Structure 1
């Protein structure tokens, strides 16, 4: 799971850990300072892989490109298989343009 700093709360991390979901969420600066001020009672730093987190940007840009197609962004189709075809066609169009 890749998420931004808005989802960095202890509650979210604890939930993901309990479910066995690996997560890469950057820690906010105020949370880092609070943890460091507590010393050894503050716990260990969160595991954050910055190289893996950079791939999140690629996925977000691809989704935003797909949203450039009105039919994908608004989802007028009632049936899922028709919507899947629309998304596939939009992805092919983007791929052919690049």
Structure 2
């Protein structure tokens, strides 16, 4: 999966906007934090646990990793690297 042409971080409404060839897709910061692909978060989900995400969590930094992005959240979590295909799956497309 290719990178989106444009990524915009809308902190106010708490959304990440991804522009792919077929259109614009939005993901809430809460959804992104809850779906963090890092090993700790994934292990919690696989064991039936729930990662509680505050309503006011925001993406504060986006770091390119080539095959995806590392998202840094306002709650201090920064371990997840979100591959492009994973982000696309989260949009439901």
**What is the TM-score normalised by the length of structure 2?**
0.24
Structure with higher helix content: 1
**What is the TM-score normalised by the length of structure 1?**
0.24
* More contact order relative to length (CA 8 Å, sep ≥ 6): 2
